[in-house]
Amino acid sequence: MVTELAKLLRDFPGEANHTHCFAHIVNLIAKSLIRQFDVPKKQADEELSATEEELQELAQDLELDEVWTRL
């Protein structure tokens, strides 16, 4: 395609743009793959809240362990 564009367009740099096109395609592929793992915002917020609660419970247990260790 790059070769054909170079033939058709006088100012088209030809092979110099070949690398840019490849990088763009790789970028599009990577984005589409990453999008498969996206979590809807509402669900992400719920998961974050649940995780925060678990961490707070663990922190309380650690504080109790410290108190028992000092005794």
pLDDT in the model for residue 30: 93
The rounded distance, in Å, linking the Cα atoms of 59 and 51 is 12
- pLDDT at 71 > cutoff 70: no
Q: What is the pTM of this model?
A: 0.36
CB atoms within 10 A of CB 68: 8
- pLDDT at 50 > cutoff 90: no
- pLDDT at 20 > cutoff 70: no
The token pair that represents 33 in the structure block? 């793959």
How many residues make up the chain in this entry?
71
